[in-house]
């Protein structure tokens, strides 16, 4: 972490804390998720790193690297300066049809790419959808902590995610078909 200077705290959650950092050499800003080393470094964190690292798409927060400090594991990623899509909707009150389409098309493009790569996010919500801060903001999907890959992992069957957003098949605790999130027609084939 010697290469980075901490600028400010971005937020915190069950995982730990997210901070804005600046690369001392390039002056580029990054977001870093700090997770306390120990029991919190479990298969979810391993999956998050493995799955997020494999995704390279303009509508997914870019994964940069993982660093270890004496006390924390640090996941360095692209900084989305525009904040959450949730906050933008709350501030606007509502979007007109063109604005909604603009953001929805980007979101679907990112989700379609995840599914093409055989990764299911499993906690997709407005709070995990960031904006890059440009004049015509680009949507950036983040937080792959609950993600599963049909290549590396078993079928998704656990109840995870934010209760208000959880799909019916998850709530009924049925093992759900991972192929349901596979591409029907994908521009990435």
Tell me which DSSP letter residue 122 carries.
S
**Is residue 110 within 8 Å of 62, Cβ to Cβ?**
no
Which whole number is the average pLDDT over 40-54?
A: 88
Mean pLDDT, residues 31-51? 88
| Structure confidence at residue 42 as a pLDDT band (50, 70, 90) | confident
Matching CATH number, 4-78, of 3.40.109.10, 1.20.120.140, 3.30.200.20, 3.40.50.150: 3.30.200.20
Q: Report the catalytic residues.
A: 123
List the chain domain ranges.
4-78, 83-181
Q: 79 Cβ partners below 8 Å, 6+ apart?
A: 20, 29, 30, 31
The answer to whether residues 142 and 86 touch, using CB atoms and an 8 Å cutoff, is no
Q: Reply yes or no on whether the pLDDT at 174 is more than 90.
A: no
The CATH classification number of 83-181 equals 1.10.510.10
Helix, strand or coil, per DSSP, at residue 9: strand
pLDDT > 90 in the chain, percent: 68
pLDDT in the model for residue 131: 98
As a whole number of angstroms, the distance between CA 111 and CA 105 comes to 10
Q: Tell me: the pLDDT tens digits for 126-138?
A: 999 999 999 999 9
Residue 44 vs residues 78, 80, 142, 161: alpha-carbon distances, Å: 20, 23, 15, 12
Residue 159 pLDDT more than 90? no
In terms of pLDDT, which residue wins out, 184 or 1?
1
63 vs 42 pLDDT, higher one: 63
On the question of pLDDT at 24 being above 90, the answer is: yes
Does 33 carry a binding-site annotation?
A: yes
Bridge partners (DSSP) of residue 8 are 20
- CA dist., res. 13 & res. 36, Å (int): 12
Prediction pTM value? 0.83
Tell me the C-alpha distance between 143 and 14, whole Å. Answer: 12
CB 56, CB 39: distance < 8 Å: no
Report CA torsion sign: 130, 185, 167, 33.
negative
Question: Which DSSP string do the residues of 12-78 spell out, in sequence order?
Answer: EETTEEEEEEEETTT--EEEEEEEESSTTSSHHHHHHHHHHHT---TTBPPEEEEEE-SSEEEEEEE
pLDDT band at 151 (very low <50, low <70, confident <90, very high): confident
Looking at residues 32-44, what average pLDDT do you find?
86
The confidence score (pLDDT) of residue 13 equals 81
| Arithmetic mean of pLDDT over the chain | 88
Structural contact between residues 132 and 81, judged by C-beta atoms closer than 8 angstroms: yes
């Amino acid at each position: 972490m010697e290469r980075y200077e901490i600028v400010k705290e971005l937020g915190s959650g069950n995982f730990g804390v997210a901070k804005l950092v600046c690369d001392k050499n390039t002056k580029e800003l990054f977001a870093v998720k700090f997770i306390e080393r120990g029991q919190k470094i479990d298969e979810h964190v391993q999956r998050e790193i493995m799955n997020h690292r494999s995704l390279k798409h303009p509508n997914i927060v870019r994964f940069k690297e993982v660093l270890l400090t004496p006390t924390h594991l640090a996941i360095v990623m692209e900084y989305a300066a525009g904040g959450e899509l949730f906050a933008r909707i709350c501030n606007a009150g509502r979007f007109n049809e063109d604005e909604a389409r603009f953001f929805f098309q980007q979101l679907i493009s990112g989700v379609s790419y995840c599914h093409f790569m055989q990764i299911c996010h499993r906690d997709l919500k407005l709070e995990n959808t960031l904006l890059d801060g440009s004049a015509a903001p680009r949507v950036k999907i983040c937080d792959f902590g609950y993600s599963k890959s049909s290549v590396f992992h078993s079928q998704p069957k656990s109840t995870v995610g934010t209760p208000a957003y959880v799909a019916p098949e998850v709530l009924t605790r049925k093992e759900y078909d991972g192929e349901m999130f596979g591409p029907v027609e994908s521009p990435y084939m």
